[in-house]
Amino acid sequence: MSQYTPMILQYLQVKADYQDAFLFFRLGDFYEMFFEDAVKASQELEITLTSRDGGGEERIPMCGVPYHSAANYIEQLVEKGYKVAICEQVEDPKTAKGVVKREVVQLITPGTMMEGKGIAEKENNFIASITSFDNRSFGLAYTDLSTGEGRVTFIDSLFEHVVNEISVLGAKEVVVSETLDEIYIKQLKERANTTISYENDTEKKTEFERIIADIESEELKQTVMRLLNYLQRTQKRSLDHLQPVAKFDIHQFMKIDYYSKRNLELTETIRSKGKKGSLLWLLDETMTSMGGRRLKNWIDRPLIDRKAIEQRHFLVEVFLEHYFERQELRERLKEVYDLERLAGRVAFGNVNARDLIQLKHSLQQVPAIHAIIEQFDHKETSKLAKRLDPCEELTDLLERAILENPPISVKEGGIIQNGYNAELDRYRDASRNGKTWLAQLEQEERNRTGIKSLKIGYNRVFGYYIEVTKSNLHLLEEGRYERKQTLTNAERFITPELKEKEALILQAEEKSTELEYELFLQIRETVKEFIPRLQSLAQIISEIDVLQCFATISETRHYVKPVFNQERKIVIKDGRHPVVEKVMDAQGYVPNDCFMDMEREMLLITGPNMSGKSTYMRQIALTAILAQIGCFVPAGEAILPIFDQVFTRIGAADDLISGQSTFMVEMLEAKNAITNATKNSLILFDEIGRGTSTYDGMALAQAIIEFIHDRIGAKTLFSTHYHELTVLEDNLSQLKNIHVSAMEQNGKVVFLHKIKEGPADKSYGIHVAELAELPHDLIVRAKEILAELEDSSEQPSEAPAINIKEEAIQAQLSFFDEPANTKSKQEPSSKEKKILEELRNINLLELNPLQAMNELYELQKKLRG
CA distance 561 to 686: 29
Percent share of the chain, pLDDT over 70 = 90
Residue-wise pLDDT tens digits, 578-591: 999 998 875 678 89
Q: What is the mean pLDDT of residues 418-426?
A: 91
Maximum average pLDDT range among 355-369, 577-591, 748-762, 844-858: 355-369
- Domain ranges, residue 18: 6-108
Q: Is 120 helix (H, G, I), strand (E, B) or coil?
A: coil
Q: List the Cα angle 610/615/620 in 5-degree steps.
A: 155
CA distance 53 to 4: 9
Has residue 270 been placed in a domain? Answer: no
162 with 80, same domain? no
331 with 377, same domain? yes
Q: Give counts: helices (H), strands (E), the chain.
A: 27, 27
* HSE of 265, CA atoms in CB hemisphere, 13 A: 24
Question: CB within 8 A of 220, min separation 6: which ones?
Answer: 139, 141, 152, 153, 154, 247
Closest CA to 498 of 446, 461, 463: 463
Query: Which H helix or E strand runs over 153?
Result: strand 150-155
Residue-wise pLDDT tens digits, 715-733: 999 998 888 889 999 999 9
CA distance 626 to 562: 9
Q: What is the mean pLDDT of residues 423-427?
A: 88
Residue 19 CB coordination number (10 Å): 7
Q: What is the mean pLDDT of residues 396-413?
A: 92
CA 773 from chain centre, in angstroms, equals 39
Maximum average pLDDT range among 74-78, 343-347, 497-501, 722-726: 74-78
* Cα four-point dihedral sign 49, 52, 54, 56: positive
**Among residues 791, 817, 847, which one ends one of the domains?**
791
Return the C-alpha torsion angle 225, 226, 231, 237, nearest 10.
40
502 with 546, same domain? no
Secondary structure E strands in 231-321: 246-247, 255-256
Question: Does 803 score more than 70 pLDDT?
Answer: no
Has residue 396 been placed in a domain? Answer: no
CA distance 535 to 543: 13
Closest CA to 414 of 431, 394, 436: 431
Question: Does 764 score more than 70 pLDDT?
Answer: no
Q: What is the mean pLDDT of residues 858-864?
A: 77
701 with 723, same domain? yes
Question: Does 810 score more than 60 pLDDT?
Answer: no
**Among residues 500, 524, 548, which one ends one of the domains?**
524
Q: Is 7 annotated as belonging to a binding site? A: no
Q: What is the mean pLDDT of residues 537-553?
A: 97
Q: What is the pLDDT of residue 460?
A: 78
Question: Does the pTM of the predicted model rise above 0.85?
Answer: no
Q: Is 614 annotated as belonging to a binding site? A: yes
Q: What is the pLDDT of residue 800?
A: 40
Residue-wise pLDDT tens digits, 79-111: 999 999 999 998 888 888 888 999 999 999 999
371 with 492, same domain? no
**Residue bearing the bigger pLDDT, 855 or 528:** 528
**Residue bearing the bigger pLDDT, 300 or 585:** 300
Q: Are 126 and 170 in contact (CB under 8 A)?
A: yes
Beta bridge partners of 838: none
Q: What is the pLDDT of residue 849?
A: 66
41 with 100, same domain? yes
CA distance 228 to 226: 6
Question: Does 359 score more than 80 pLDDT?
Answer: yes
User: Can you state the angle between helices 531-556 and 323-334, rounded to 10 degrees?
Assistant: 140
* HSE of 533, CA atoms in CB hemisphere, 13 A: 16
CA–CA distances in Å: residue 702 to residues 434, 661, 678, 805: 93, 21, 19, 8
Least confident residue range of 90-104, 402-416, 735-749? 735-749
Question: Does 811 score more than 60 pLDDT?
Answer: no
511 with 588, same domain? no
Maximum average pLDDT range among 311-315, 348-352, 799-803: 311-315
CA distance 663 to 667: 6
Reported confidence tier of residue 763, pLDDT bands at 50, 70, 90: low
Secondary structure E strands in 487-528: 490-494
Has residue 385 been placed in a domain? Answer: yes
Phi first, then psi: what are they for 359, rounded to 5°?
A: -60, -45
* Cα four-point dihedral sign 269, 272, 273, 274: negative
Reported confidence tier of residue 667, pLDDT bands at 50, 70, 90: confident
Q: Is 575 annotated as belonging to a binding site? A: no
Q: How many domains, the chain?
A: 6
Question: Does 815 score more than 70 pLDDT?
Answer: no
Closest CA to 114 of 172, 169, 197, 153: 172
613 with 703, same domain? yes
Secondary structure E strands in 389-509: 455-459, 463-469, 482-486, 490-494
Question: Does 838 score more than 90 pLDDT?
Answer: no
CATH number at residue 510: 1.10.1420.10
CA distance 115 to 106: 14
The distance in angstroms from the start CA to the end CA of the chain is 66
Closest CA to 629 of 300, 381, 315, 380: 300
Q: What is the mean pLDDT of residues 846-860?
A: 72
CA–CA distances in Å: residue 683 to residues 300, 309, 435, 710: 18, 22, 78, 14
Secondary structure E strands in 511-670: 563-564, 570-575, 592-596, 602-606, 637-640, 645-649
Closest CA to 360 of 376, 339, 380, 383: 339
Closest CA to 848 of 707, 744, 752, 648: 707
Residue-wise pLDDT tens digits, 6-31: 999 999 999 999 999 999 999 989 99
CA distance 243 to 421: 34
Least confident residue range of 89-93, 171-175, 564-568, 787-791? 787-791
Question: CB within 8 A of 169, min separation 6: which ones?
Answer: 124, 126, 128, 142, 300
Q: What is the pLDDT of residue 762?
A: 61
Q: What is the pLDDT of residue 790?
A: 61
CA distance 778 to 756: 32
Has residue 371 been placed in a domain? Answer: yes
Has residue 473 been placed in a domain? Answer: yes
Has residue 116 been placed in a domain? Answer: no
Reported confidence tier of residue 592, pLDDT bands at 50, 70, 90: very high
> For the chain, what's the residue count?
865
Question: Does 865 score more than 80 pLDDT?
Answer: no
Q: What is the pLDDT of residue 318?
A: 96
* Cα four-point dihedral sign 212, 217, 218, 220: negative
Q: Is 613 annotated as belonging to a binding site? A: yes
Q: Are 255 and 288 in contact (CB under 8 A)?
A: no
Closest CA to 110 of 156, 157, 145: 145
742 with 774, same domain? yes
Residue-wise pLDDT tens digits, 428-465: 887 788 888 888 889 999 998 999 999 999 887 888 99
Has residue 397 been placed in a domain? Answer: no
Q: Put residue 98 in one of left, alpha, beta given phi > 0 → left and psi -120 to 50 → alpha.
A: left
CA 441 from chain centre, in angstroms, equals 63
**Among residues 252, 267, 298, which one ends one of the domains?**
252
599 with 710, same domain? yes
Reported confidence tier of residue 693, pLDDT bands at 50, 70, 90: low
Beta bridge partners of 685: 649, 718
DSSP-derived secondary structure for 10-37: HHHHHHTT-TTSEEEEEETTEEEEEHHH
Has residue 412 been placed in a domain? Answer: no
**Residue bearing the bigger pLDDT, 104 or 811:** 104
Q: What is the pLDDT of residue 819?
A: 46
Residue-wise pLDDT tens digits, 470-488: 999 988 888 889 998 899 8
548 with 580, same domain? no
Walk across the sheet containing 570-575 and list its strands. Answer: 563-564, 637-640, 570-575, 592-596
CATH number at residue 781: 3.40.50.300
50 with 144, same domain? no
Residue-wise pLDDT tens digits, 25-55: 999 899 999 999 999 999 999 999 999 998 8
Least confident residue range of 134-138, 180-184, 276-280? 134-138
Q: What is the pLDDT of residue 813?
A: 42
Reported confidence tier of residue 320, pLDDT bands at 50, 70, 90: very high
Q: Is 470 annotated as belonging to a binding site? A: no
Question: Does 118 score more than 60 pLDDT?
Answer: yes
Beta bridge partners of 485: 492
Q: What is the pLDDT of residue 656?
A: 38
Q: What is the mean pLDDT of residues 619-623?
A: 96
Q: Is 636 helix (H, G, I), strand (E, B) or coil?
A: coil
**Residue bearing the bigger pLDDT, 398 or 607:** 398
CA distance 57 to 708: 72
Q: What is the pLDDT of residue 823?
A: 44
CATH number at residue 131: 3.30.420.110
Q: Is 607 annotated as belonging to a binding site? A: yes
**What average pLDDT does the chain have?**
87
Q: What is the mean pLDDT of residues 759-787?
A: 71
